[in-house]
Every structure is written in structure tokens, then in C-alpha cells.
Structure 1
Amino acid sequence: MSQALIFDMDGTLFQTDEILELSLTDTFDHLRSLNQWDTVPPIETYREIMGVPLPKVWETLLPNHSYEIREQMNAYFLERLIENISSGKGALYPHVEEVFSYLKENKYSIYIASNGLTEYLQAIVRYYQLDQWVTETFSIQQIQTLDKADLVRTIIEKYRIKNAAVVGDRLSDINAAKENGLVAIGCNFDFAREDELSQADIVIEELIELKTIVPTLNK
């Protein structure tokens, strides 16, 4: 039986789309006020690259802007995300609390491994009180490589995990599982891509499916 579940946050537990457009629009309106932007916010581009670390996001969204401007926009975007989370404009995916309660009752350990920044993740965990189920939340900020496989390895080593599955919607989650010898469970949710999910061991359409899948993982 698998002893631990390591979850991605954005697009897996948290419906990032609920606040993404709002926060990006705020950010690019701010950039426009600085006379550094003159067109629509690149929301679709962000959706395509969802799941990569934020420094890579701003390199992609602002390829012709300076490092200083990217840093400013990264900080402003983070502020807007946290404000929108704290004011209740976001949402968890259906069944998160039910699945977490089930896992906890059945002695599974729950971890979060995300490419999101620590402050952002803390805002989600705090608002939705996820700490009642989650042992620890890990941010990509905690490691130098910005590689999710290394982040998952950090969790495995810290908690001496022998059997686990990684649950996520993007290739970085699937690769993080496979590179650490874990089961890769792909989530066919908002930001998922068919070509990436095809590399997962299992694909789910809703988190509630984990209640029947998890007990069978290591049989």
C-alpha cells in the first residue's frame, strides 16, 4: 500500500484559473501604467506554460523586458494573487477536502510539492486550512535547481518515504514521480495536456477517483 501522496498545487488542488486572469490583468495594467506594455495581457500564453517556475514564466511573458522589470512584475503578480486568495476569489477543486480526510483517516501522509512561491502557497494553505491534513508544503524556492524532481526527492529524503505517488496535472509532476521511482498520477484538469498525461501511470478526471485508486497502488 502506498504510504504517501505528494500533490501538485496549481491545477491539481487549487483552481488557479479562478484568480489567474484577474491577477494577470491587474499586473499588466500596472505594467501599462509604467508605459512598458500596450496590448492585452498574455493570459493564453500563461495557461500554456502553467506549472513552470515563476522566473521562467516572466522570461516567457516578457522576453523583451529587463530583468528588473520582470522582477517587479513577479512581485506585483504575487501580491495580487495573495490578495485574491485571501479575499476568497479562488477555489479548491471538487473533493479535495473529502479525499484529504479519507487519506488522513487511512493513515496516508499528504505532502504538497509546487513550483509556486512559498508566500503564495502559504496563502492557499492558510485560507483553506489545509494544514489539518497536509504534513508539509514544499515550494520550488527551497531548492537551487528549480527542478520538481529534486523537490520531490527532498520530501522523500526528509520523511524517509519508501512508497508514494505524485499527483499532478503537468509533465513536471509526472517526471518528478518517475525520476524518483514513484507512481505518476496525472490529473486531466484545466491546464493538462494530452501529450503529457500520456506519460503518466494513471490518469484521473476527478480527485474523488483517488479513493478507489490509492488502496490498489502497491498490490
Structure 2
Amino acid sequence: MNSVNTKLLKKPEAMIFDMDGTLFKTETLLIPAYDRLFTQLREEGVYTGETPPVERMLSSLGMVLDDLWERVLPGEDKKVHERADELLLENELTGLHQFDTQLYPGTKAMLEELKSSGVRLFVASNGLEGYVKGIADAHHITPLFEELYSAGQYQTASKVDLVHILLEKHGISSAWMVGDRSSDVEAGLQNGLTVIGCAYAGFCGEHELKGSHQIIQSFKELTSLYLKAEEQ
């Protein structure tokens, strides 16, 4: 764990979590759902090419959906992107009950500990509403959160906007933004929050978490950071 800034951290009123690559081990659901998606697209005649490398999809997580599909399927018609969206969500929601999907080790216990310490917990994800809420429901963590926010539900163009809505709606004055993508760092910094970068998913590039106040190598380190942080 990078501890350079630990003494500067202040205990927050709330923590706002990304979902993919932060709480949820995305590849346990995405890889089988992704393979099935492209089989279906070809069967429907919507898409005739090869299945793009799944690494391209994994490295695009955290983007809003329009940008994600432009990266995974560049040059394809918007109708292809929209159908891919629909089928991937269907496969993921079904897969939550068919595949051995996983949260990162210790996630549920750590969330319970933070909540019992009085921290208000939220999710802010660039994913679709059904996907974000489906993961939380399938892994029995929904009751731990005050609310689950998704770009799909609020039709936000960026996570900066989504987090701003969350902060305004709940009257939050201090929070930690916890995530594994540059979009999480940007959302936290532009909203005046402390940013905790998560480096354990393995999807992000070398500079993805640049600007984070602290970088952790496992989710379990978050509780330790909270306990060491100074009172407001």
C-alpha cells in the first residue's frame, strides 16, 4: 500500500464505490457473457465479424456505454452497439445466477464493518441500472448501501455528473471516492473528494490512477486506511 498520504486522510462522512473492478470481480461474469453475446449477434445477422479480444472489453470498463462500444466495436453502426448493449445485459443478469461470480475477497465483511462504524455507503457506476443493482442483489450487499447510482439510470454523460447528483441529493459534504479507473479519479477530484485508487483488478494501465490520494492493493486495506484517518 502506498502510505505517503495516509496521515493526510480525514475520516469521511460517506464512501462512494465504483462497482466493476472495485467491489465486483467483473471477469467472473463478463467473460462467459461476452462470448455468448457475440454468438448471438452473429446468429441474428447483426454482426458478422470475429469476436473482439475480451481484453479490449475489460480495459474499457468504467467508460460510459457509448464510448465503451465505440472502443470494442469501432466503426460499427449504432444499432449494432445498441443490440450488443441489450444482449450483454440479458446475459449478465442471467449469468449472475448461472456462473460462479465473485466479489473481491473480504468485500462484504469490509462493507459491513464500515457501515457499522457509521460510514454512509453508496455505489456510483457508469453501468446500466439493471446490471449494477443485479450484482448487488445477487451478492446480498444491497442493504449495506444507502443508494446505488448508475449512469444508465440517471443518463449522465460522465461519472463526474453522476457523483455530483449523488452528493447534492444526499447532502454529503465529505466523502471518499473509491474506484479503479481514471473516471473514478476524475469524478472524485472534480467534486472535491478524497480519491482511493484500487490497483488490484489488473485492468488499468500504468497511469490510470494518477491523481489518487491513496492507492490500495486489496479491498481489505480500505478499512485500515479508515481507521488510521484523522477525525474531521
**Where on the TM-score scale, by shorter chain, does this alignment land: which range?**
over 0.9
In 2, Cα distance between equivalents of 1:9 and 1:145: 16
Taking the TM superposition and a 5 Å limit, the aligned residue runs for 1:69-108 are 69-108=80-119
Aligned partners of 1:2 and 1:218 also within 8 Å: no
1:120-159 pair list within 5 angstroms:
120-159=131-170
> Given that residues 118 and 139 in structure 1 are in contact (C-alpha distance below 8 angstroms), is that contact kept between their aligned partners in structure 2?
yes
Does the 8 Å CA contact 2:29/2:99 hold for their aligned counterparts?
A: no
Once the 2 structures are TM-superposed, how far is the Cα of residue 85 of structure 1 from its aligned partner? 1.1
Check conservation: 2:181, 2:204, Cα contact below 8 A.
Answer: yes
TM-score, normalization: structure 2?
A: 0.89
Q: Offset of 1:26 from its aligned partner?
A: 0.6
Aligned mate of 1:51, from 48, 54, 62: 62
Contact 1:8 1:169 in 2 (8 A): yes
Query: How far off is 1:88 after superposition?
Result: 4.4
Distance 1:217 1:142, change over 3 A: farther
Q: Over aligned residues, Cα RMSD in angstroms?
A: 1.5
Say whether the 8 Å CA contact 1:5–1:164 is kept in structure 2: yes
User: How far does residue 14 in structure 1 lie from its aligned partner after superposition?
Assistant: 0.4
**Unaligned runs of at least 5 residues, structure 1:** none
**Structure 2: stretches of 5+ with no match in the other structure:** 1-10
- 1:12-45 CA-partner distances (Å, limit 9, x unpaired): 0000011211111111111222342232333121
Query: 2:28 matched to 1:13?
Result: no
2:191 pairs, out of 180, 190, 198, with: 180
- In the alignment, what sits opposite 1:62? 73
Distance 2:142 2:29 in 1: 22
Correspondent of 2:225 among 210, 213, 219: 213
* Structure 1 runs of 4+ with >3 Å offset: 142-145, 215-219
| TM-score (norm: length of structure 1) | 0.94
Give the number of aligned pairs.
219
Q: CA deviation at 1:87?
A: 2.5
Give the secondary structure class of the aligned counterpart of 2:100.
coil
Partner deviation per Cα, 1:141-199 (whole Å, 9 max, x = no partner): 23344210111111111111111100000000011110011000000022232212232
Shift of 1:218: 4.5
